[in-house]
Chains A and B, each alone.
Chain A
Amino acid sequence: MIAILDYGSGNLRSAERAFATAGKEVVVTADRTVAVEAEGLVVPGVGAFAACMNGLNGVDGAAIVRERLAKERPTLGICIGMQIMFSHGTEHSDTAPHAGVGVWDGTVSQLAAPILPHMGWNTVEVDSDSILFKGIEAESFYFVHSYAAKSAVGKMQAWSTHGERFLAAVEDGYMSATQFHPEKSGAAGLALIKNWVGSL
C-alpha cells in the first residue's frame, strides 16, 4: 500500500490517481501509523517552504519521514515535498533561512532566471544508474517552482536548467525526490511513478 501524506490543501486527487495507475492500493492520509507503516510514502508539497514545513509539522511529518528512513522504508518527495527534505530554505526569509526536515544538507534558494516561476515542461540530464528514470531518460517533465537546490546530494542526481542548473531529482537509498510533478507529467510521469513503485 502507498500512502500520500495529506498535510494541507491542494490537489492530492491527481497524485492519488496517478500512483494508483502503478497497480497498488493508494490512501491519502494524515494518520501517523498509516504513513509510517505504508510500503511507500509520498510527500507532496504546496505553497511556500515555511508554510509547507508548518503543515508538515502539524501532522508530525518530519518525524514520520525520519522514522521511515531509519526503518529502511521508501519515501518520495515531490516539488516542495523535495525542497523541505533539505536542511534550509530561503523562500520568504529576510533573515536566517527556514529549517527543513534535514534529510540532506543544503539550501534551497531562488533560481536566477528572468521569468519565474519556472513553469512548464523541461528535459533532465540523468545519471546512468537511475532507477526512477529508467527508460524515460529523454522525456520532458512538468515543473512549477521558483526555488531549487543547486548542489549535489544523494547517490544519483538528475539536473535541469532554468536560468541556472538545479537538482531536478535525487535518489539516495530509501529517500527519493523530484522537483517536477510526475503526477502531472503525462505518460512520462506515470512511467517514473511505475519505476518508483516497482522498486518498493
Chain B
Amino acid sequence: MTLSVRIIPCLDVTDGRVVKGVNFTDLVDAGDPVEMAALYNTEGADELTFLDISASVAGRETTLDVVRRTAEQVFIPLTVGGGIRSVEDVDRLLRAGADKVSINTSALARPQLIAEIADRFGSQVLVLSVDARRARTESGFEVTTHGGRQSAGVDALAWVEQACALGVGEILLNSMDADGTRAGYDIGMITAVRAVSKVPLIASGGAGSLEDFSAALDAGADALLAASVFHFGVHRIGDVKSYLGKHNYPVRGVAVR
C-alpha cells in the first residue's frame, strides 16, 4: 500500500495542435493532442498535462474541444493550464472534462483567485505552477513571468507558502534555469520548496538522464513532469518507470488491458 510516484508528460497546445517537435514514429498525426494523450496513456503515463499557449480567444475555445475529446477516451487524470483568469474559466474546463487546472500569472496578479477557486471546487482541483529561477532574493529563488524572461519581484519560497495558505492542492515547480537543458532538475530548488510545503510537489524542468528522475524524488518531489525527453523519444515513459522500479521507487506498472 504505497503511493506511487507519478510520471506526467506535458503537452503544449495551441489552436488545437501540439507544438514543440515530436518524433513518435508510430503516430499517424504527431500534432494531434488527443492522439498523443492516448499514446502516453498506453505507455503508462500516470497523469497528463496540457498547457494551452494559445494567444487568441478562438484558440482557447479549440482547447476546450481538445479537452472534451481527450476526456472521452483517456481515463487518467488530466490537468489543463494556461490563460485561466477566473472561477468561470475553471468551471468551463472542469465541465469539458479536466480534473485539475494549473494557474500561474493570474494568481501572481491576484492571489485571492487561489482561495476563490479552492472554495468553489476544492483544493484538489488546483495546481499552482511556479516558474522560478535562482536569484538574489531572501531564499535564493525568485518567481519569474513571461517564460522566465522577467522577474515577478516575488521570492519563490514566500510565494509557495502564501499560495499553500490560500488553498492550492499541489505545486508544479518549474526551474527556468534548468528548463530545456536536459542537465537535470534543480535539486536545490526542489529541496527548498519541499521544506516549506505540505502539498504534493511536481518537479519540472531539466529532465535528461534516468538518474535525473530519481534525484528529484530523493530531493522530495512526489511527481515528475517532463516534456521534451518524452516528445523527442529520448526516453519512453516505460523506460523511466523500469529504471525507478529497479531502484526501489514505487511505480505503477503499465495498466492491464
* A→B interface (CB under 8 Å): 9-14, 17-18, 46-48, 51, 114-125, 136, 139-140, 142-146, 159-162, 165, 181, 183-191
Cβ-defined partner of A119 (8 Å) among B72, B124, B257: B124
Chain B interface residue number, banded: 35 or more
Contact B3 A121 (CB under 8 A): yes
A116-B94 contact given A122-B3, A187-B256, CB 8 Å threshold: no
Which 9 A-B pairs give the minimum distances between C-beta atoms? A161-B1, A187-B255, A47-B122, A13-B97, A186-B255, A121-B252, A121-B4, A140-B252, A144-B124
Contact A14 B256 (CB under 8 A): no
A118 shortest CB reach to chain B, Å: 7
* B→A interface (CB under 8 Å): 1-6, 41, 46, 68, 71-73, 75-77, 91, 94-99, 120-124, 169-170, 198-200, 222-223, 252-253, 255-257
Cβ-defined partner of A184 (8 Å) among B6, B77, B170, B199: B77
A117-B4 contact given A13-B97, A183-B75, A190-B75, CB 8 Å threshold: no
Contact B3 A186 (CB under 8 A): no
Find chain A residues with CB under 8 A from B41 CB: 186
A156 shortest CB reach to chain B, Å: 17
Contact B72 A123 (CB under 8 A): no
Tell me the nearest residue of chain B to A145, going by C-beta: B124
A-B residue pairs in contact (CB < 8 Å), sample of 8: A13-B68, A17-B75, A117-B169, A120-B222, A125-B1, A144-B99, A183-B75, A187-B256
Contact A10 B94 (CB under 8 A): yes
Contact A11 B95 (CB under 8 A): yes
Q: Of B1, B41, B73, B199, which is in contact with the most chain A CB atoms at under 10 Å from its CB? A: B1
Tell me the nearest residue of chain A to B90, going by C-beta: A9
Find chain A residues with CB under 8 A from B122 CB: 46-48, 51
A9-B121 contact given A120-B4, A187-B256, CB 8 Å threshold: yes
Cβ-defined partner of A115 (8 Å) among B1, B72, B222: B222
Contact B2 A11 (CB under 8 A): no
Find chain A residues with CB under 8 A from B4 CB: 120-122, 140
Find chain A residues with CB under 8 A from B72 CB: 13, 17
A150 shortest CB reach to chain B, Å: 14
Cβ-defined partner of A14 (8 Å) among B5, B99, B222: B99
The CA-CA distance from A190 to B73 in the complex, in Å, is 11
Tell me the nearest residue of chain B to A48, going by C-beta: B122
Contact A115 B200 (CB under 8 A): yes
Tell me the nearest residue of chain B to A160, going by C-beta: B1
Find chain A residues with CB under 8 A from B94 CB: 9-11
Find chain B residues with CB under 8 A from A186 CB: 41, 75-76, 255
Contact A122 B222 (CB under 8 A): no
Find chain B residues with CB under 8 A from A47 CB: 120-122
The CA-CA distance from A12 to B94 in the complex, in Å, is 8
Contact B76 A142 (CB under 8 A): yes
B186 shortest CB reach to chain A, Å: 20
Find chain B residues with CB under 8 A from A46 CB: 121-122
Cβ-defined partner of A11 (8 Å) among B1, B98, B257: B98
Contact B2 A14 (CB under 8 A): no
The CA-CA distance from A181 to B4 in the complex, in Å, is 15
Contact B96 A13 (CB under 8 A): yes
